């Protein structure tokens, strides 16, 4: 049992409550895609210099004095009062102590009353509940979740990754946001295990639609790594410290976020991976929460090509009304009498797919196809800074994706499907011009021609496809975000990566996998001998070893390149050194 607080602490706490002497500081939550602030987390503090200044001490004493309700009510009221001026275009993330629901004074609906008092809506508020608290008292945690969800509030699970049952918790609670604990973010740029975990969270968010916020970003390298992985939102001292005012991002941080995203996009400018959904958006006018069924009916009848209408409130989307379901509902017995004179909010889908203008096509495609089959062909609503911008139809999405893929196919190797020389040249020029950290891997198969002569073109194609697959798997998005892989022609491949700290590990993995798999392309007799016999370039029969792999690496870690030609010259000299080696090998260019 906890010790009772001293009389002085009790008096100090009660004085704080009676005088409403709680400070509220606000820390922005930032889009790591477009550098816009989407909301602020409200953090409550005791008076400066007080023994109850920290939230831990403040709430601990409140619980010991059975005054948790009084403190929670005061903190929540002051936070919403102080944030009211910015909440029309922003979101307030509000921390909740789940123990409050056990307090006998707890009053259901009091937050809604405060929102109403300041003219705010449920859309302006996200409740944050910590994973650690949930795991300590899962029954109580579920109770408070059900309480808030039943009223229409959105939920964020805070400190995800700090506990041991996080995945089970996410599966059971279905929050709208998860905030990744700062311990997983710390030094993520230097830790491949942390990167792998973060990539898993990113893939999880794409499939489920749950938004990810990385907490505790403190260095530019951490920020760049999170952007490269694809994490959508961030929070931390690097972006902005907590303040009693609503601070904006510094120009330097804003520029850093936008520049890093531009660098990411440049490598896939010709693919659906980084063309934004906003580029194919249609600016259909929305309807409003006050629009009646009769008015919606008239719009549909006047515009036979419109299959859906976005529903907005204060310029923000809150629902979607699809033509087919609308007419099906009003065609029911009494449907016309019930719905035609009433707001469309009774008929709309309150949970349509809503995406940001800058979201890449491939991510939108995954979200759209993961919807329930009843909603597969529903419009996709596009927003900018949370405001309604337009819609995208599934037909438009498929048409644009197909068009891009057909254009890509014109410049790709017909066998492997990898980008060919024109796209390779474009990407090499980009990395040289931008001078971002990079390593270029020139990969070719030794003794491929001789294998082709003995085993034929069909088996030669199998060797090329196997090599392409090995490189693709080694540099997949989950392992190496934003890697570029191309097929120069014949048995020559190229890869561009930006993780210059793990070049050797990557090369070793590619070579080891190739050496393990290549034996399957030979007969048992040739495998046993370890060579094949065929004519050399002079027409004389010669023994040639089994195929191996040479990887020549040129990097700008210690060298500056002035042109693509300059880069190619360095790579060529490294390739010559590789060719002198027996068997598979890699050599990384080093300035002597």
- Is residue 2 pLDDT above 60, yes or no? no
Does some domain include residue 1? no
544 pLDDT band, cuts 50/70/90, is: very high
d(CA 272, CA 400): 9
pLDDT at 229: 85
- Is residue 477 pLDDT above 80, yes or no? no
Same domain, 316 and 460: no
Does some domain include residue 272? no
Same domain, 224 and 304: no
pLDDT at 4: 59
Q: Which of 200, 234, 266 represents a domain boundary (last residue)?
A: 266
Q: Which comes out higher in pLDDT, residue 487 or 95?
A: 487
530 within 8 A of 548, measured Cβ to Cβ: no
pLDDT at 289: 96
Q: Which comes out higher in pLDDT, residue 77 or 121?
A: 77
Q: Annotate 141-157 with b (16+ C-beta within 10 A) or e (fewer).
A: beebbebbbeeebbbbb
Q: Which comes out higher in pLDDT, residue 472 or 403?
A: 472
Does some domain include residue 239? yes
pLDDT at 110: 66
d(CA 319, CA 286): 10
- Is residue 36 pLDDT above 80, yes or no? yes
- Is residue 115 pLDDT above 60, yes or no? yes
Same domain, 553 and 422: yes
Does some domain include residue 84? yes
392 within 8 A of 379, measured Cβ to Cβ: yes
> How deeply is 336 buried, as exposed, middle or buried, from its count of CB atoms within 10 A (0-12, 13-18, 19+)?
middle
Angle between helices 251-266 and 421-434 (to 10 degrees): 160
Does some domain include residue 271? no
Can you tell me whether residue 339 is helix, strand or coil? helix
Which pTM value belongs to this model? 0.55
Same domain, 253 and 283: no
Q: Return the CATH number at 318.
A: 3.10.580.10
- Is residue 445 pLDDT above 50, yes or no? yes
pLDDT at 563: 83
What is the per-residue pLDDT across 12-27, written as a single tens digit (0 to 9) for each? 999 999 999 999 999 9
If one counts the domains in the chain, the total is 3
- Is residue 204 pLDDT above 90, yes or no? no
* CA nearest neighbour of 484 among 269, 305, 338, 296: 269
- Is residue 592 pLDDT above 60, yes or no? no
Q: Name beta bridge partners: 551.
A: 443, 586
Same domain, 166 and 211: yes
The single-letter DSSP state of residue 415 is T
Same domain, 234 and 317: no
Q: Name beta bridge partners: 538.
A: none
Same domain, 256 and 284: no
d(CA 362, CA 409): 17
pLDDT at 586: 96
DSSP per position, 14-32: HHHHHTT--EEEEEEEEET
DSSP per position, 111-174: HHHHHHHTT--GGGEEEEEEHHHHHHTHHHHHHHHHHHHHTT-EEEEEEETSSS-HHHHHHHH-
164 pLDDT band, cuts 50/70/90, is: very low
Q: Name beta bridge partners: 548.
A: 446
Same domain, 376 and 467: no
Does some domain include residue 566? yes
Q: Return the CATH number at 112.
A: 3.20.20.450
d(CA 431, CA 496): 9
> How deeply is 89 buried, as exposed, middle or buried, from its count of CB atoms within 10 A (0-12, 13-18, 19+)?
middle
Q: Name beta bridge partners: 28.
A: 40
Does some domain include residue 2? no
pLDDT at 84: 84
Q: Which comes out higher in pLDDT, residue 33 or 513?
A: 513
What is the per-residue pLDDT across 558-571, written as a single tens digit (0 to 9) for each? 888 888 888 989 99
pLDDT at 53: 87
pLDDT at 1: 38
106 pLDDT band, cuts 50/70/90, is: low
Can you tell me whether residue 581 is helix, strand or coil? coil
Q: Which comes out higher in pLDDT, residue 547 or 260?
A: 547
128 within 8 A of 156, measured Cβ to Cβ: yes
What is the per-residue pLDDT across 61-82, written as a single tens digit (0 to 9) for each? 988 888 888 898 899 889 988 8
Mean pLDDT of 418-428: 86
Q: Annotate 263-291 with b (16+ C-beta within 10 A) or e (fewer).
A: bbbbbbebbbbbbbbbebbeebebbbeeb
What is the per-residue pLDDT across 134-145, written as a single tens digit (0 to 9) for each? 555 666 667 767
Mean pLDDT of 515-520: 95
Does some domain include residue 405? no
d(CA 309, CA 311): 6
- Is residue 442 pLDDT above 80, yes or no? yes
What is the per-residue pLDDT across 182-192, written as a single tens digit (0 to 9) for each? 999 999 988 88
Mean predicted lDDT score pLDDT of the chain: 86
Q: Return the CATH number at 428.
A: 3.30.70.270
Same domain, 512 and 579: yes
Same domain, 54 and 189: yes
Q: Which of 400, 428, 461 represents a domain boundary (last residue)?
A: 400
Q: Which comes out higher in pLDDT, residue 273 or 29?
A: 29
Q: Which comes out higher in pLDDT, residue 311 or 99?
A: 311
Q: Which comes out higher in pLDDT, residue 53 or 236?
A: 236
pLDDT at 537: 86
216 within 8 A of 186, measured Cβ to Cβ: yes
Residue 57: give the domain boundaries: 7-266
Q: What is the dihedral of CA 209, 214, 220, 225, to 10 degrees?
A: -50
* CA nearest neighbour of 125 among 139, 112, 140, 141: 112
User: CA-based Rg of the chain, rounded to a whole angstrom?
Assistant: 30
* CA nearest neighbour of 349 among 383, 380, 304: 380
Can you tell me whether residue 530 is helix, strand or coil? coil
d(CA 89, CA 383): 13
Q: Which comes out higher in pLDDT, residue 147 or 389?
A: 389
> How deeply is 510 buried, as exposed, middle or buried, from its count of CB atoms within 10 A (0-12, 13-18, 19+)?
buried
- Is residue 430 pLDDT above 90, yes or no? no
Same domain, 426 and 536: yes
Rounded (5°) CA angle 223-229-230: 90
**φ, ψ at 353 (rounded to 5°):** -75, 115
Q: Which of 334, 366, 400 represents a domain boundary (last residue)?
A: 400
d(CA 531, CA 490): 21
Same domain, 546 and 428: yes
36 within 8 A of 44, measured Cβ to Cβ: no
What is the per-residue pLDDT across 367-395, written as a single tens digit (0 to 9) for each? 999 999 999 999 999 999 899 999 999 99
What is the per-residue pLDDT across 255-290, written as a single tens digit (0 to 9) for each? 999 888 776 655 445 566 657 899 899 999 999 999
């Amino acid at each position: 049992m906890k010790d009772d607080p001293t009389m002085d602490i009790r008096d100090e706490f009660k004085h704080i409550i009676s005088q409403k002497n709680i400070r509220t500081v606000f820390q922005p939550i930032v889009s790591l895609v477009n550098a816009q602030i989407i909301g602020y987390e409200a953090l409550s503090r005791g008076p400066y210099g007080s023994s109850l200044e920290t939230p831990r001490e403040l709430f601990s004493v409140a619980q010991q004095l059975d005054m948790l309700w009084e403190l929670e009510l005061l903190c929540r009221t002051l936070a919403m009062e102080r944030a009211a001026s910015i909440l029309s275009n922003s979101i307030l993330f509000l921390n909740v102590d789940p123990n409050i629901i056990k307090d006998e004074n707890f009053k259901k609906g009091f937050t809604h009353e405060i929102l109403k008092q300041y003219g705010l809506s449920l859309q302006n508020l996200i409740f944050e509940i910590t994973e650690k608290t949930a795991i300590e008292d899962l029954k109580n945690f579920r109770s408070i979740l059900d309480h808030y969800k039943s009223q229409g509030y959105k939920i964020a699970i805070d400190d995800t990754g700090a506990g041991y049952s996080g995945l089970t918790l996410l599966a059971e609670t279905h929050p709208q946001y998860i905030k990744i604990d700062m311990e997983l973010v710390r030094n993520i740029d230097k830790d491949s295990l942390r990167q792998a975990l973060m990539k898993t969270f990113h893939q999880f968010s794409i499939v489920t639609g749950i938004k990810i916020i990385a907490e505790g970003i403190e260095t530019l390298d951490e920020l760049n790594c999170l952007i490269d992985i694809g994490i959508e939102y961030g929070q931390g001292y690097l972006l902005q410290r907590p303040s009693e005012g609503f601070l904006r991002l510094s120009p330097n941080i804003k520029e850093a976020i936008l520049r890093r995203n531009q660098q990411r996009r440049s490598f896939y400018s010709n693919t659906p991976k980084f063309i934004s959904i906003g580029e194919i958006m249609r600016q259909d006018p929305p309807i409003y929460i006050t629009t009646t069924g009769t008015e919606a009916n008239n719009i549909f009848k006047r515009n036979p090509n419109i299959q859906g209408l976005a529903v907005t409130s204060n310029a923000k989307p809150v629902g979607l009304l699809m033509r087919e379901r609308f007419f099906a509902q009003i065609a029911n017995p009494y449907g016309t009498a019930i719905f035609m004179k009433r707001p469309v909010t009774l008929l709309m889908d309150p949970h349509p797919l809503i995406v940001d203008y800058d979201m890449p096509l491939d991510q939108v495609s995954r979200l759209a196809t993961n919807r329930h089959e009843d909603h597969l062909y529903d419009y996709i609503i596009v927003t900018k800074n949370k405001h309604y911008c337009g819609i995208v139809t599934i037909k438009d999405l498929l048409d644009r994706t197909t068009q891009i893929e057909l254009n890509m196919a014109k410049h790709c190797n017909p066998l492997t499907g990898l980008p060919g020389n024109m796209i390779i040249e474009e990407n090499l020029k980009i990395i040289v011009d931008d001078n971002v950290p990079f390593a270029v891997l020139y990969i070719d198969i030794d003794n491929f021609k001789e294998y082709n002569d003995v085993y034929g073109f069909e088996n030669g194609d199998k060797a090329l496809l196997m090599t392409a697959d090995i490189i693709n798997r080694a540099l997949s998005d989950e392992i190496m975000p934003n890697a570029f892989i191309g097929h120069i022609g014949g048995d020559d491949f190229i890869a561009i990566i930006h993780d210059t700290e793990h070049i050797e590990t990557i090369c070793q993995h590619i070579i080891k996998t190739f050496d393990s798999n290549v034996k399957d392309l030979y007969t048992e007799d040739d495998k046993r001998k370890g060579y094949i016999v065929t004519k050399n370039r002079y027409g004389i029969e010669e023994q040639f070893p089994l195929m191996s792999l040479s990887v020549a690496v040129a990097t700008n870690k210690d060298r500056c390149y002035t042109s693509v030609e300059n880069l190619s010259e360095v790579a060529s000299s490294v390739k010559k050194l590789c060719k002198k080696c027996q068997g598979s090998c890699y050599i990384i260019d080093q300035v002597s």
